[in-house]
Chain A
Amino acid sequence: MYAWLNGPGQVFHDPLPNSTNYLSAYDKAGRLIRAQDANEKSRSKAEQDKEEAENEEDPDAQEASSEEADAARLRREARRQEQESKGDGNKVSSESMEDLRPFPQNTQFMSQPVLSVELRDEIFRRVKDGGLDVRTVSAQLGVAIERVGAVVRLKTIEEEWIKQGKKRATPYQTAILSMLPTTPFDATSPISTSSTRSRAPTLAHEPINDLPVHPATRPQLFVPVSESRVFTRTDAAAAFSASLLPAHARIPHPQLVHAERYRASGMTDREVRERVEEDEREREEREREREVRRREDEARRMRVVQGRRWDFRFEDVRVEDVGRDGLSERGVGWRYGAPHDDRKRGKVKIPTRVG
């Protein structure tokens, strides 16, 4: 083992500066594969250049047009310089998918990029200072909704720490982020700031419109349909389950679909934005109403009697809630025959939710 650790494994002792350093990026002898490839490429390029140079020295070529030749030479010179300047950073910049696999055996797993500090700050800035909602920021920057929320939450804690003068683990963060692939944020690049268009997939951090595979759609289904009928997504969803919504309604960003449709119907960008905002307001209003109704319903069912120290809450229960076998979780009270050993010695009751 020590022969390996001191030989090919030596490269893993310290992280590669500003790059990932996974097993798959190295060959058996502990050489960086992509560095070797780059070397080979540059060597072949150099040979090519030499050939070109030889060709250039042909009197015919020189005669053809000296200006063009000069321009070509200049261009080549520039390219070479560019390559040379890249030379040091080459190792860092050209990580391929292969290099991002931490487990050589598992080809279906790769180390996916994490948010860079700049991108995190930008998300926080847009939500806190810009006053944008999480969904909009998510669509703008190509970051999943829940991740945007989490970033804001974590960043708020960080701000609190700074205010309290609490020591942060900054050296740890610097070290970790230099070891991981990160999604950069370039403030100068033309990023879409509109809420109705999402960022180009190449710039996005992750796919934002992930459709969870619904259990009802798992079994294969054969539905006889007449050939003349236009069988749409909505029909397909209804065929699987009566309550299943079609894909364009189940994705996290249905407003992007609506915006595209409005745009296709000939609306201008501004009209589209206004329309989408209006839709959004309506949706929020509907949700608020539903919440109010739920509260009212609960208040009607629940009778609260104020006690000296506690409130007593009375709620109607149904006997049928225990289910057919009498063991359902929703059943209330002590059930005959059901073991009740939760207070036995050694039975640890781990909470299922906190806060």
Chain B
Amino acid sequence: MRKKPKFHGLKKIKVRQSWNKFNLYNLSRMQKLTVEDKTFFQQKWAAKAVTRAYHGEQIKEKQWQRMFDTRIPSVQSMDHRYLAQHDGSEQAAGRGSGIELSNGLAKKSQPRTPYMHMVYGPTERRLDTAIWRALFASSVRQARQFVTHGGVKVNGKKMIYPGYQLNPGDMFQVDPDRVMFATGAMKNQDKAYKKAKSREAQAAEEGATEEATADEGKEVSTETDNTSEQEDGAINAKSDTPPEDPELSLKDRQKTIKSLLENAKLILSDPHDRLSAPRKQEWRAFSKLVRSTLSRARTTSDATTSDLESQFQLLKSKLAPTSSSASSKAAAEAHQREAEARISAEDERMLREALERAYENPVDDAKPYATPWRPRPYMSPFAFIPRYLEVNQNVCSAVYLRHPVARPGLAEVPTPFHLETSQLAFNWYLRRR
């Protein structure tokens, strides 16, 4: 049997619906289809082959032929002011096509509507394609897997058919964890990166490798207890700790503030870069410190600590100095120390930012992607959301508003091919070719 060609082959350029870097390379060197050396049939065949490799490559040819439609939806955008001022008779005036301008110039013509780019419009209606277009998956194949594995809901009901044809107004939701996994950087890429780094370090210095392995080991050990800690942290701390006196001592507070701010500074210093093992430890230490500070506040209830804003307010109130009634000299001294313990506005902002970051994008080794989350490499050149979808990324949901349409100068079906190629493909699918 003939060997199946590679999906992202480099010899014969086939652009696919995926964010793969091989695909990006292929897209960057894609050329217009050569037609000079081909018969018309060959041109159409080649155009069909290259466009079908992109559009609905997972759909069987027969299935696609059933979906294909020669009637292409299009729109004209109207100006309501013009419609109000004219009743349309001006366009029928003269010899039937409007009065010619006296200077003999033609009226400003609209750009042509690229109907031929809409050949594969029907595939955009499929659920798997729509999920990929909404940037919830890194390829259509992956989107298809999300659907078949039960990670997608349509209008609140689980939908397991990737070929489900979305109707205008349908809402689809993808499990956020899957989306974060699909669009986030890979977890073991970090390991590879680290390995490469450590190899470099080895070349430079012999002793460095020992440290790196020690770090890794430490990380693994902290990983295991960290996850369990995170789960019952708030609850245990509340129930297990013996009732302390409600106010922290001044020294204690100073110390806490100092370490909190230091940690926050570290977190903010390189937020988006790859985190090394010690950095991750710092990150965790910060969240741990926040937790422990909060748990010392006896007024906490579970409901309030889950909210970020209230968490921050609580932290602030915890750290804010309380008025003390003592003798004048002692009071002055205490006042001075309190001033040291007080958080400045700048520090407060920093603390809040760090808290937000640590809360929203935590280091969590239980996740299947690199944490803290960051977009996967080579994603940005593929990132666009067509107008027929409305996406809310926060809840990983999108609404299929309407079918894609062509309008003057713009086709809404995203296709990487030249207009001529699309036209040839359209001609291939006409019944009589």
Asked whether B88 is an interface residue with its Cβ less than 8 Å from the other chain, the reply is yes
Max chain A CB contacts within 10 Å: which of B28, B399, B402?
B28
Asked whether B83 is an interface residue with its Cβ less than 8 Å from the other chain, the reply is yes
Q: Count of chain B residues with Cβ under 8 Å from any Cβ of A?
A: 97
B59 to chain A, nearest CB (A): 13
Within 8 A of B (CB), among A158-207: 158, 161, 165, 167-173, 175-177, 179-180, 198, 206-207
Q: When the two chains form the complex, which single residue of B76, B163, B380, B413 contacts A12, counting CB atoms closer than 8 Å? A: B380
Within 8 A of A (CB), among B15-40: 21-22, 24-25, 27-30, 32
Max chain A CB contacts within 10 Å: which of B307, B392, B410, B417?
B392
The reply to whether B25 and A161 form a contact with Cβ atoms under 8 Å apart is no
The reply to whether A106 and B410 form a contact with Cβ atoms under 8 Å apart is no
| Chain B residues in 8 Å Cβ range of A115 | 390
Q: When the two chains form the complex, which single residue of A21, A147, A177, A209 contacts B80, counting CB atoms closer than 8 Å? A: A209
Within 8 A of A (CB), among B376-433: 377-387, 390-399, 401-402, 405, 407, 409-419, 421
| Chain B residues in 8 Å Cβ range of A231 | 88-89, 92
Q: Which one of B167-175, B243-251, B338-346, B347-355 contacts A?
A: B167-175
- Bound CA span A232–B87, Å: 6
The reply to whether B395 and A168 form a contact with Cβ atoms under 8 Å apart is yes
| Chain B residues in 8 Å Cβ range of A110 | 410
The reply to whether B88 and A232 form a contact with Cβ atoms under 8 Å apart is yes
Q: Which one of A71-79, A297-305, A344-352 contacts B?
A: A344-352
Asked whether A312 is an interface residue with its Cβ less than 8 Å from the other chain, the reply is no
- Bound CA span A171–B414, Å: 26
| Chain A residues in 8 Å Cβ range of B417 | 103, 105-106
- Bound CA span A327–B223, Å: 64
The reply to whether A225 and B92 form a contact with Cβ atoms under 8 Å apart is yes
B94: nearest residue on chain A (CB-CB)? A227
The reply to whether B416 and A147 form a contact with Cβ atoms under 8 Å apart is no
Within 8 A of A (CB), among B110-124: 114, 117
22 of the cross-chain contacts (CB-CB < 8 Å) are A9-B21, A12-B381, A13-B377, A23-B27, A103-B414, A104-B28, A109-B410, A111-B385, A172-B184, A172-B393, A173-B394, A175-B373, A176-B383, A179-B375, A206-B387, A209-B79, A210-B77, A225-B92, A231-B89, A236-B92, A352-B165, A355-B154
| Chain B residues in 8 Å Cβ range of A261 | 84
Q: When the two chains form the complex, which single residue of A165, A169, A206 contacts B393, counting CB atoms closer than 8 Å? A: A169
The reply to whether A165 and B306 form a contact with Cβ atoms under 8 Å apart is yes
Q: Which one of A246-254, A318-326, A334-342 contacts B?
A: A246-254
Asked whether B10 is an interface residue with its Cβ less than 8 Å from the other chain, the reply is yes
A237: nearest residue on chain B (CB-CB)? B88
- Bound CA span A21–B162, Å: 30
With A15-B380, A171-B373, A172-B373 as known contacts, state yes or no: A106 contacts B416, CB within 8 Å.
Answer: yes
Within 8 A of B (CB), among A1-38: 1, 4-5, 8-9, 12-16, 20-23
With A213-B74, A236-B92 as known contacts, state yes or no: A20 contacts B387, CB within 8 Å.
Answer: no
With A109-B415, A213-B73 as known contacts, state yes or no: A1 contacts B25, CB within 8 Å.
Answer: yes
A3: nearest residue on chain B (CB-CB)? B25
With A153-B399, A157-B395, A177-B393 as known contacts, state yes or no: A172 contacts B418, CB within 8 Å.
Answer: no
| Chain A residues in 8 Å Cβ range of B2 | none
The reply to whether A257 and B84 form a contact with Cβ atoms under 8 Å apart is yes
Q: Which chain B residues have a beta carbon within 8 Å of chain A's beta carbons?
A: 10, 21-22, 24-25, 27-30, 32, 71, 73-81, 83-85, 87-89, 92, 96, 114, 117, 135, 154-157, 159, 161, 163-165, 167-171, 173, 176, 179-180, 183-184, 303, 306-307, 360-361, 372-375, 377-387, 390-399, 401-402, 405, 407, 409-419, 421
Going nearest first, the 7 A-B pairs with the smallest beta carbon separation are: A233-B88, A260-B84, A355-B155, A111-B384, A207-B77, A173-B393, A150-B399
| Chain B residues in 8 Å Cβ range of A8 | 28
A195 to chain B, nearest CB (A): 13
The reply to whether A105 and B32 form a contact with Cβ atoms under 8 Å apart is yes
- Bound CA span A353–B421, Å: 34
Q: How many residues of A sit at the interface, in one of the four size bands? A: 35 or more
A316 to chain B, nearest CB (A): 29
The reply to whether A150 and B92 form a contact with Cβ atoms under 8 Å apart is no
Asked whether A130 is an interface residue with its Cβ less than 8 Å from the other chain, the reply is no
- Bound CA span A172–B390, Å: 16
B276 to chain A, nearest CB (A): 18
Q: When the two chains form the complex, which single residue of A12, A16, A257 contacts B83, counting CB atoms closer than 8 Å? A: A257
B414: nearest residue on chain A (CB-CB)? A109
| Chain A residues in 8 Å Cβ range of B393 | 169, 172-173, 176-177
A220 to chain B, nearest CB (A): 12
Q: When the two chains form the complex, which single residue of B378, B385, B414 contacts A180, counting CB atoms closer than 8 Å? A: B385
The reply to whether A147 and B401 form a contact with Cβ atoms under 8 Å apart is yes
| Chain B residues in 8 Å Cβ range of A233 | 87-88
A169-B180, A210-B405 known; 10 new pairs, CB 8 Å cut-off, are: A1-B22, A23-B27, A105-B418, A109-B415, A111-B385, A114-B391, A154-B390, A158-B392, A212-B75, A251-B80
With A158-B395, A231-B89 as known contacts, state yes or no: A150 contacts B390, CB within 8 Å.
Answer: yes
- Bound CA span A193–B383, Å: 33
The reply to whether B392 and A157 form a contact with Cβ atoms under 8 Å apart is yes
- Bound CA span A165–B304, Å: 10
Q: When the two chains form the complex, which single residue of B71, B85, B89 contacts A232, counting CB atoms closer than 8 Å? A: B89
Asked whether A155 is an interface residue with its Cβ less than 8 Å from the other chain, the reply is yes
The reply to whether B176 and A167 form a contact with Cβ atoms under 8 Å apart is yes
- Bound CA span A175–B370, Å: 15
| Chain A residues in 8 Å Cβ range of B176 | 167-169, 172
- Bound CA span A165–B396, Å: 16
Asked whether A146 is an interface residue with its Cβ less than 8 Å from the other chain, the reply is yes
- Bound CA span A108–B408, Å: 9
The reply to whether B161 and A348 form a contact with Cβ atoms under 8 Å apart is yes
| Chain A residues in 8 Å Cβ range of B378 | 12-13
| Chain B residues in 8 Å Cβ range of A5 | 21, 25
The reply to whether A260 and B81 form a contact with Cβ atoms under 8 Å apart is yes
Q: When the two chains form the complex, which single residue of B21, B164, B173, B360 contacts A171, counting CB atoms closer than 8 Å? A: B360
B111: nearest residue on chain A (CB-CB)? A108
| Chain B residues in 8 Å Cβ range of A207 | 77
B165: nearest residue on chain A (CB-CB)? A352
With A15-B379, A114-B385 as known contacts, state yes or no: A144 contacts B78, CB within 8 Å.
Answer: no
| Chain A residues in 8 Å Cβ range of B164 | 350-351, 354
Q: A211-231 vs B: 1/0 string, CB under 8 Å?
A: 111010000000001000011
- Bound CA span A225–B89, Å: 12
- Bound CA span A153–B390, Å: 10
- Bound CA span A162–B321, Å: 32
A248: nearest residue on chain B (CB-CB)? B83
A308 to chain B, nearest CB (A): 28
With A102-B381, A105-B30, A109-B410 as known contacts, state yes or no: A15 contacts B375, CB within 8 Å.
Answer: yes
A178 to chain B, nearest CB (A): 9
- Bound CA span A206–B361, Å: 33
Asked whether A244 is an interface residue with its Cβ less than 8 Å from the other chain, the reply is no
